[in-house]
Structure 1
Amino acid sequence: MTLRPAILTWLALIAVPESGAAQSRNPAPAAVVTPLTADEPQSANPTVIDRRILVMLDMPSEHYRPGSDYGATGGYGDPAAAGARRRLAARIARDQGLTLGDAWPMPVLGIDCVIMTAPGDEPLAAVIERLSHLSGVAWSQPLNEFVARGDPEPANMRQPNDRLFAAQPAAQAWHLADLHRMATGAGIRVAVIDSLVDAHHPDLTGRIMVVRDFVGAPAAGAPETHGTAVAGIIAADADNGVGIAGIAPGAHLMALRACWQQTVSATVCDSLSLARALVFAVENGAQVINLSVTGPEDQLIARLIAAARRRGAAVVASVDPRTGAGFPASAAGVVRVSQEGLSRNEPGVYNAPGRDVPTTEPGGQWHLVSGNSYAAAHVSGLLALARQIGRTDRGLVSTRPDGGTVDACRTLLRAGAKGRGC
């Protein structure tokens, strides 16, 4: 990678508008579409998306037949049971004056998730309350909107030869080269639930084990900024002579597109796309799940996070920079993360590097980013390192018992890493 003159000094010292981001004079081949998410406060108040609602039909999970696709073909269990479920959904929609949409099985929760649209001006809260008390309905809820929490701000021993390694905040603050002598996250499955990742970026080639798109429309026409940046911080290839080194360069990424990029600085998701990605992550053994998004409380997402944790996954989420909390960070058992310097010492919030971070950008380039999304990505990478070492029950070491600045080296030593640390 050939960089513009003085690019390393520029990256280490300042952040500039995105148009000034680091670029390669020999860009990688044209990126192939591969899904993932985005960042920073995009709307002052997350909103309910149009008039659609989610209705959870309470169906026994033992009827689930792996490999079927209820949403696409109507199969989910035996044909008679699938037909009964379709008739139940149709009857509810007809009796309540709703329009019936698509449905997806979520066997991890023992439910079918059905989209229905409420016409007219009746408050959605009233419709949802009425549906939640019907026979056969586990619960109903809004189709909530979430936004990604990042701020694209194209702002002694041998170290890796990655050209931008010295500019990475974690290189010094977390002694990243020393961490990689203890672990690289080799073989750990990390789900990046975000916008579309550039799987053919030279720093991500070979790091992504699976790509799935759970958004549908709007379909991704090209890799997206936020997801690509988060993926690079977690698992960019190390010691390959270009770009950066990920916190866990040996990890296997699941690039799960649940969000879509509206503009370069605005990425959004909804309850259903996040839920479908979470179901995939849980059913395919994700050991770490990164959720760099915030939005309103959501019962479906909360239950899926609980299911992921019951199966042993660590779930990491960025906090809302306006409140220091937010959902899904507020869900039980979630590791909630804020950028260093932004936290107001909220209980339970961990602080990690998240300011002026060089990372991967679609099209085989690199740029600077800042925000809580990227701090969360650092912690997801660190937890992948700890999981490779093996003592996953010991958690993060930080400056306070209930949060504070993460001490990456001591975290790995407490997890059982051998050696002198950093």
Structure 2
Amino acid sequence: MSRFIAFFALVGLIGFALPRSAASQDWQLTDANTFAPANYLILTIPQDEPQALAALADTLAADFGVSLAAEWSLNALEVHCFVFDARNVSDVDGLITAMETDARIRTVQRLRSFSLTEMFHSDPLLPLQWALQSMRVLPIHASSLGEGVRVGIVDSAIDNHHPDLADQMVDLFDFVAADPVPLAEAHGTAVAGIIGAAATNEGIVGVAPSADMVGLRACWQQDGAPGVCNSFSLARAINFAILNDIDVLNLSIGGPEDPLLTELINVALEAGIVVVAASGEGQELVYPASLDGVIAAGQVAGRSVPAPMVDVLTTAPGSAHRYVSGSSIATAHVSGVVALMLSQDPTLTSAAISERLNGSISDVETLPMLNACTAILGPSEACAL
């Protein structure tokens, strides 16, 4: 049986204590889950006899153009509560201001919405994944895990035997070696883990753990050295992505401008593929993140989508885990968020996705950071950083 830990605060309108002066009184109650939070107001009134409270409710409703939706008594505060339906009021803020000056009313506030703060996954390394917390990814997992989205990872070889990745890699293709041999390389394995590591095992959790990942090996690593790719291998990998229903193309690479790759990436964009590329480690975007239409990920101020890229825990060859850094890692985070977005709304265009991502950036400990929750759900209390 899967386990989870939940810390939560519940506000319920159906749990109540009756005033001492009217123990048998049946107050008007309504199911709490039928209220639209932004359009209902909670008023507290000094406790009184039921008949007096009923008369006051009618008077307040008439005076302010609202209707009584529910009422209950809070003996702990020695107050009575009215919930008024203000959906027909055009200026709710003005209404609240007017109520605040009314001597009959002790307090007035909007009905607010809260969420369960829950670890949806039992993976033991999840508490170490600060990146998912800082981007507010976990609240999205209640409604989307990236189902139905194919993410092409143009990178070095991915360890598809890793417990976090074995069921996540739907296919692997090698555009480096004519006669591929089973191997696993560090960079590709790290990127894949961030994008879509399984959420139901003993390791970490990916940003989009139900996305279908396709490994497109176009780079290679030798003796632990940084990965190398070239126009030949990259062109073949991107060509494959265009022809084989890839939805999101992760390019955690950077290098000189390349006419052939530019042409292919433009065709990929025209085909509706969302292309995410690494911004580089300097102050200017590197190629291909610098191309129009490509979503740049990293920390280039004002020109890339900021995402976690320092000391991020992810998968490593041989069933291991390690900490990694760099704009390649930011790229993987953004690609995962794009997969979540497309799973929620497959009609989103690359331009619309880019606009949402860039409009969902908040400061986290003075650094700008993508808020994945806001990008998908829009501004809400559940998405607050």
**Alignment TM-score, normalising by the size of structure 1:** 0.58
* Residue of structure 2 equivalent to 1:355: 310
Determine the C-alpha separation between the residues in 2 that align with 1:204 and 1:409: 24
Q: Distance in 2 between matches of 1:278 and 1:332?
A: 17
Structure 2 residue 290 is the aligned partner of structure 1 residue 330: yes
Q: Deviations over 1:62-120 (max 9, x none)?
A: xxxxxxxxxxxxxxxxxxxxxxxxxxxxxxxxxxxxxxxxxxxxxxxxxxxxxxxxxxx
1:355 Cα offset (Å): 1.1
**Counterpart in the other structure of 1:307:** 267
Structure 1 residues 56-67: aligned runs within 5 Å: none
Q: Is the 8 Å Cα contact of residues 374 and 380 (structure 2) preserved in structure 1?
A: no
Q: Secondary structure at the match of 1:351?
A: coil
The letter of the residue matching 1:232 is G
**Pair 331,218 (structure 1): closer, same or farther in 2 beyond 3 Å:** farther
SS of the residue aligned with 1:300?
A: helix
> Percent same amino acid among aligned pairs?
41
Asked whether the 8 Å contact 1:182–1:419 carries over to 2, the reply is no
Matching residue within 101, 122, 147 for 1:161:
122
Q: Are residues 1:405 and 2:369 paired?
A: yes
Instruction: Point out the structure with max Rg over C-alpha.
Output: 2
Aligned mate of 1:238, from 187, 199, 212: 199
* Structure 1 residues 336 and 344: alpha-carbon distance in aligned structure 2, compared to 1, 3 A threshold: closer
Residues matched between the structures, number: 257
Aligned counterparts of 1:263 and 1:218: Cα–Cα separation in 2: 20
Contact kept in structure 2, 1:236 and 1:246, CA below 8 Å: yes
Runs of 4+ displaced beyond 6 Å: none
Q: State the Cα RMSD in Å.
A: 2.2
- For residues 145 and 182 of structure 2, the distance between their equivalents in structure 1, rounded to whole angstroms, comes to 32
**1:383 aligned partner, one-letter code:** V
CA distance in 2, matches of 1:270, 1:220: 20
Distance 1:268 1:221 in 2: 18
Aligned in 2, Cα 1:321/1:218: closer, same or farther, shift over 3 Å?
A: farther
State the shift of 1:344 in Å: 4.8
Contact 1:185–1:384 (CA<8 Å) still a contact in 2? yes
Q: Cα distance, 1:323 vs. partner?
A: 4.0
Matches of 1:158 and 1:311, distance apart in 2? 37
Contact 2:250-2:335 at 8 Å conserved across structures: yes
- Spell out, residue by residue over 1:111-156, the C-alpha distance to the aligned partner (whole angstroms, 9 max, x if none): xxxxxxxxxxxxxxxxxxxxxxxxxxxxxxxxxxxxxxxxxxxxx3
Following the alignment from structure 1 to structure 2, what is the Cα–Cα distance between the partners of residues 303 and 371?
27
Task: Spell out, residue by residue over 1:212-240, the C-alpha distance to the aligned partner (whole angstroms, 9 max, x if none).
Answer: 00012695562100000000000000032
Change over 3 Å in CA distance of 1:320–1:217 after alignment to 2: farther
* Structure 1 position 262, deviation (Å): 2.3
| Kept after mapping to 2: 8 A contact 1:218/1:260 | no
Q: Deviations over 1:285-316 (max 9, x none)?
A: 11000000000000111111111111111100
1:182 and 1:418 in contact (8 A); partners too: no
Q: Which has the higher contact order (CA 8 A, sep 6+)?
A: 1
Give the letter for the 1:329 counterpart: A
Matches within 5 A, 1:238-317: 238-240=199-201, 242-317=202-277
Deviation at 1:263, TM superposition (A): 3.1
2:136 alignment partner AA: H
Once the two structures are TM-superposed, the CA of residue 272 in structure 1 deviates from its matched residue by: 0.9
- How far 1:175 moved relative to its partner? 2.5
Partner of 2:159, secondary structure, is coil
Q: What is the aligned counterpart of 2:328 among 373, 393, 398?
A: 373
Alignment of 1:18-417 (within 5 A): 156-216=117-177, 222-240=183-201, 242-338=202-298, 343-345=299-301, 347-390=302-345, 392=348, 393-394=352-353, 395-396=356-357, 397-399=359-361, 405-414=369-378
- Runs of 5+ in structure 2 lacking a partner? 1-116, 363-367
Separation in 2 of the partners of 1:209 and 1:418? Answer: 35
Letter matched to residue 122 of structure 2: N
CA distance, structure 1, for counterparts of residue 175 and residue 300 of structure 2? 35
Distance 2:300 2:267 in 1: 30
Question: What residue number does 1:132 align with?
Answer: none
Q: Distance in 2 between matches of 1:319 and 1:218?
A: 33
Say if 2:134 and 2:369, in contact at 8 Å, map to a contact too: no
CA shift, 1:160, in A, is 1.3
- 2:135–2:307 CA contact under 8 A, matched in 1: no
Give deviations 1:238-263, integer Å, cap 9, x for gaps: 032x1110000000011010000023
For residues 419 and 282 of structure 1, the distance between their equivalents in structure 2, rounded to whole angstroms, comes to: 39
Shift of 1:174: 1.9
Q: Structure 1 unaligned segments of length 5 or more: list them.
A: 1-155
